[in-house]
Amino acid sequence: MLDTMSRNGWRVTEQRKKLAQIFVEHDGYLSPKDVYDQMSVSYPSVSFDTVYRNLRMLSEMGVLEHFYFMEGGLKFRESCLAHHHHHLICVNCEKTLAFEDCPMDQGVKLPGNFKILRHRFEVYGLCESCQSQQA
């Protein structure tokens, strides 16, 4: 994450190192407020807007993935950059499962002369554990 910041012309400050550390230490999704709450322990003067702006920019760089949970709102996590895959996301417990099938491999016909640069595919539902709990 720090290398990507540097390659994109960002100064790698102590605050940004802390931001990266938060995602490295957390295996799951964090809301902007979750990140802000953790950042403000070490940096009481940091603003929510600064944290949010950094999260959005890191997401645009591809370092963070963002998902919109129906109940929990926008959340971020460290990107899986090892290989191309998509996600099944449980709307109850927010557990995420990767799956390798890509709908774009099926030869999707797009209108006009549209050039795809990147894409994401997310399927929202209930994981096996949450289905068992509801039964």
Residue where a domain stops, chosen among 36, 60, 78: 78
Bridge partners of 96, per DSSP, are 89
Asked whether residue 7 falls in the same domain as residue 43, the answer is yes
Bridge partners of 40, per DSSP, are none
Asked whether residue 30 falls in the same domain as residue 74, the answer is yes
Asked whether residue 71 falls in the same domain as residue 10, the answer is yes
For the purposes of burial, counting CB atoms within 10 Å of the CB of 132, is it exposed (0-12), middle (13-18) or buried (19 or more)?
A: exposed
Q: What is the pLDDT of residues 98-116, one digit of tens each?
A: 787 787 788 778 888 888 8
Residue 99: which CATH number? 3.30.1490.190
Bridge partners of 69, per DSSP, are 73
What is the structure's pLDDT at 81? 65
Asked whether residue 48 falls in the same domain as residue 95, the answer is no
Asked whether residue 72 falls in the same domain as residue 7, the answer is yes
What is the structure's pLDDT at 8? 83
| In the chain, % of residues over pLDDT 90 | 33
Residue 17: which CATH number? 1.10.10.10
Asked whether residue 109 falls in the same domain as residue 51, the answer is no
Asked whether residue 98 falls in the same domain as residue 74, the answer is no
- Does the pLDDT value for residue 55 go beyond 90? yes
What integer is the mean pLDDT of 58-82? Answer: 81
- Structurally, the chain folds into a number of domains equal to 2
Distance of CA 81 to the CA centre of its chain: 12
What is the structure's pLDDT at 107? 77
Asked whether residue 73 falls in the same domain as residue 91, the answer is no
User: Which residue range forms the structural domain that includes residue 18?
Assistant: 2-78
Least confident of 15-19, 82-86, 96-100, 107-111: 82-86
Residue type, 27: D
Sheet of 86-90, strands arranged across = 96-99, 86-90, 122-125
Output the pTM of the full model.
0.71
Asked whether residue 65 falls in the same domain as residue 90, the answer is no
Asked whether residue 47 falls in the same domain as residue 111, the answer is no
Contact 55, 39 (CB under 8 A): no
